[in-house]
A and B are shown apart, each in its own frame.
Chain A
């Protein structure tokens, strides 16, 4: 469910210098975004002995990891460093299962809008616990405005674009257009009170 990019080798090589390595690689989300070739390139650039390599789907699933850890017990035992190619969840699960071992991740996890649902989208939901969509024509300013503004656009909205990024649409322009289309422009006059940033459960 997450997209990853491979860390620079300058960041990884000092962690593995003259150590035996075991590799966990997760392909569960490779259809989302997992750069197979770049991962291999990083692995190829490591000069140390690779004592084993487990490739599996859904490294985030602790049950599966336990089985693999059992199957590769000997190799993992021999390894001094365990490298993980997966999103931050997979890396954390492996770390927690190999609690006293040096487990390092080789990936940075990227954010993909819409992916707390199922598909990548141009819009997003921050799951803020205080849905504003009823006042914004169904477009979310919490997730999509650079400044999280709740009372209309700032002074930087021009030509439908956000001042922060000329490629990024101004969500408040979109909200305005949507409400105009719905004949609900009066909704724009509503004073949006300060947001309760603490309503999502911890």
Chain B
């Protein structure tokens, strides 16, 4: 065990892991975090806290993580390169570890153009792969990026994201390999609706033996409405929503039925990705719909979650 991460422990002990996701509020309201954390508690092994997702200003990921920790959970701090140069990134890494947080997900970040401050300057001093390597070297080599040594290293279970559906598709497996090489312990994928393409990607992953070097958590999310499905299909870069998904939702006759069908679809996808060799768990993204998490996890036969003695 590299860290005290609950997620690492679940994965190392061979369980099919479940992670969730929590979006911090665009305000200083601590209550929101605590409420959402309670919804997730017991249903997931760890949960991500987004870092200015879609480049909209929200509560700092690490601050929300501390609150989640206080609720007795295992938070995964997301850390993007959009807003921080290597100096700020390393300072945050030290602080996060010192606060007792065990997981970090290294991302490049959504471009500022998409957020509520499009005039902001994007930093992008590092990219996500360089960030992974930097955090790993801090942990395993006790070195800062400049090469200087430190006395007490940050102990973080390091994650990365990968999108099997973006272009060029042929580069998506080699890119994963780069992330593994750079230091990723676990991977969370983009939300999967196109199972065939995901299976093809996983085959490539297995061909290179990557699934034995990194824990891959398949990204899943319930669809709340037909509009949301269409939006994801046409507007969200890097999302692959096949027509069959839209058609399945179209068959529902009321709004409630669409939501219900969205949940069923999500459960189906979980069951199917679980059968793909090399998939070590799922990452369930039910942002602003956290209340359905227990139901989905339950319906997918993933409850109860394993509990380890301290």
A interface with B by C-beta (< 8 Å): 146-160, 163-165, 170, 172-173, 176-177, 180, 185, 188-189, 191-195, 197
Contact = CB atoms under 8 A, between A and B. Distances in A.
9 contacts: A147-B82, A147-B108, A147-B122, A152-B175, A153-B171, A155-B162, A156-B166, A191-B181, A194-B130
Contact of A146 (B111, B134, B163, B175): B111
Nearest to B145: A194
Given A157-B166, A163-B238, A189-B178, A151 B129 contact: yes
B113 interface: yes
Given A147-B108, A149-B108, A158-B238, A194 B125 contact: yes
A150 B178 CA distance: 12
> Which 10 pairs from chain A and chain B are nearest by CB?
A163-B237, A155-B163, A156-B237, A151-B129, A155-B238, A149-B127, A176-B168, A147-B124, A148-B124, A164-B111
Most buried by B among A173, A177, A191, A193: A191
A156 B145 CA distance: 27
A43 to B, nearest CB: 30
B177 interface: yes
A178 to B, nearest CB: 11
Nearest to A147: B124
Interface in B159-213: 161-163, 166-168, 170-171, 174-175, 177-178, 181-182, 190
B177 A150 contact: no
Contacts of A176: 168, 170-171
Given A191-B178, A191-B181, 5 more contacts: A155-B166, A155-B238, A157-B237, A172-B168, A192-B127
B interface bracket (residues with beta carbon within 8 Å of A):
35 or more
B108 A154 contact: yes
Interface of B: 81-82, 86, 108-109, 111, 113-114, 122, 124-130, 133-134, 145, 161-163, 166-168, 170-171, 174-175, 177-178, 181-182, 190, 237-238
Contact of A188 (B122, B127, B174): B174
Contacts of B86: 194
A153 B166 contact: yes
B125 A197 contact: yes
B198 to A, nearest CB: 14
B168 A163 contact: no
Contacts of B161: 155
Contacts of B114: 164
Given A152-B178, A170-B167, A173-B168, A147 B134 contact: no
A172 B171 CA distance: 10
A151 B178 contact: yes
A177 B108 contact: no
Contacts of B238: 155-158, 163
Nearest to B113: A164
A66 to B, nearest CB: 37
A87 to B, nearest CB: 22
A150 B182 CA distance: 13
A147 B166 contact: no
A189 B174 contact: yes
Contact of B168 (A147, A150, A157): A157
Contacts of B190: 155
Contact of A192 (B122, B130, B174): B130
Given A157-B166, A157-B168, A151 B130 contact: yes
